[in-house]
A and B are shown apart, each in its own frame.
Chain A
Amino acid sequence: MTDKEIIELYKSGQKDRAFKEIVDSYSERLYWHVRRFLCSHEDTDDLLQEIFLKIWTALPSFRGESQLFTWLYRIATNEALNFLNKQKVRSALQFESLSSKLEEKIDEDPWFNGDVMQRMLMKAIQRLPEKQRLVFVMRWFEELPYEEISEILGTSIGALKASYHFATEKLKSFLEKNSELF
């Protein structure tokens, strides 16, 4: 079912069925989107419940000014960032940085199937500033076009391209310092 059909279904009063269609179409995509930020299957699973609860609650206020897809991604991204900000405070109280905490999670993740270089890349991504991390993940991993990323993050395409460029420079520099392949 397309996004338009889902919205029409919701407006016709079949709210439960429309929500079920959203879950069918987007639960897995949003899982992977959130997973790359949280670096933990358990945290992602917990947060996904919160995200879909927010989606269900906010559906009546969705006016269709943006695509359903970008609206859902925006909710998921904001919730992931809120979660990470809370983690940041908790880490600071334990005299740790968030990035080192996330790197630990990457190392301990039993579900990570990547090789050494891919693990190193994931760790390097956690060290990027927030905006650059967001843009890089959405552009490189999820292959989203800049137009959609711009709608999701509310940032201009030019600023996104600049962020992506700086992100790739930093990652390349980090990988070169820490790898024998370069």
Chain B
Amino acid sequence: MKSEKDIFEKIGKASYGVPEGYFNDLKSRLEAIPQEKSVLNGPWARIRPYLAMAACFVALLVAGNSVLRHTVSTNPAEQVQSEATYADIISLTHPEVFINEFEYANEDVTTEEDIINYLIESGVEMEYLAYSGGNQKY
């Protein structure tokens, strides 16, 4: 009866090759590990993560600032231009919003004449209108 040992001994152990000079090169690379590690564990190694975070924060600030500079103008002419542009965007169903942005912003929208016209249209008697005199201030 064949023993397991015979079968495997008959097959034999597989052999592998390696590139020429591989093990000498390997030893050189491995022996460099302590020097590489000592550089990584130097004084800069501890503060490096904090420096990286600070650098990211500064980069974000600079990037954000440059984006804002390009989108928000301090030139008066350009500001008016941008407001006019917004005026086109604002819906015409909100005339008060539109008007208030410009030269009528500080004026009373409803005039006395507007009030009288409104009263006439709503059917108020002329006598009441006369009583009001039209000189009343509202």
CB-based contact A23/B37 at 8 Å: no
Cα distance A109–B16 in the bound complex, in angstroms = 9
Residues 1-45 of B contacting A (Cβ, < 8 Å): 4, 7-8, 10-19, 23, 26-27, 29-31, 33-34, 37
B contact residues around A1 at 8 Å (CB) = none
- With A111-B18, A118-B13, A140-B8 in contact, do A15 and B34 touch (Cβ < 8 Å)? yes
- Does A89 touch B at the CB level, under 8 Å? no
B37 touches A41 (CB 8 A): no
Given the known inter-chain contacts A56-B33, A168-B4, please indicate yes or no for A118 contacting B14, CB distance below 8 A: yes
B16→A113 contact, CB < 8 A: yes
A172 contact set on B, CB distance < 8 A: 4, 7
Q: How far is the CA of A149 from the CA of B16 in the complex (A)?
A: 23
A122 an interface residue at 8 Å Cβ cutoff? yes
Of all chain A residues, the one with the shortest Cβ separation from B29 is A49
Which listed segment binds B: A24-32, A63-71, A152-160? A24-32
Q: Is the CB of A19 within 8 A of B34?
A: yes
A23 to chain B, nearest CB (A): 5
Q: Is the CB of B7 within 8 A of A175?
A: yes
- Summed over the interface, the residue pairs from A and B with CB atoms below 8 Å come to a total of 77
Contact across chains for A52 and B30 when beta carbons are under 8 A apart: yes
Is A117 interfacial (CB 8 A cutoff)? yes
Taking the closest CB of chain B, its distance from the CB of A51, in whole angstroms, is 9
Return the CB mask of A28-53 against B: 1 if under 8 Å, else 0. 10011001000001000100110011
Chain B: minimal CB distance from A34 (Å): 12
How long is the Cα–Cα vector from A19 to B15 in the complex, in angstroms? Answer: 29
Interface residues of B (CB under 8 A from A): 4, 7-8, 10-19, 23, 26-27, 29-31, 33-34, 37
16 further contact pairs, Cβ within 8 A, besides A23-B30, A28-B23 = A19-B31, A20-B31, A23-B31, A27-B30, A32-B16, A35-B16, A48-B26, A53-B33, A53-B37, A56-B33, A118-B13, A121-B14, A168-B4, A172-B4, A172-B7, A175-B7
The 4 closest A-B pairs by CB, nearest first: A114-B14, A118-B14, A111-B17, A168-B4
A-B contact pairs, 13 of them (CB 8 A): A19-B34, A31-B18, A41-B19, A53-B33, A56-B37, A57-B37, A111-B18, A113-B17, A118-B15, A140-B13, A171-B8, A172-B7, A175-B7
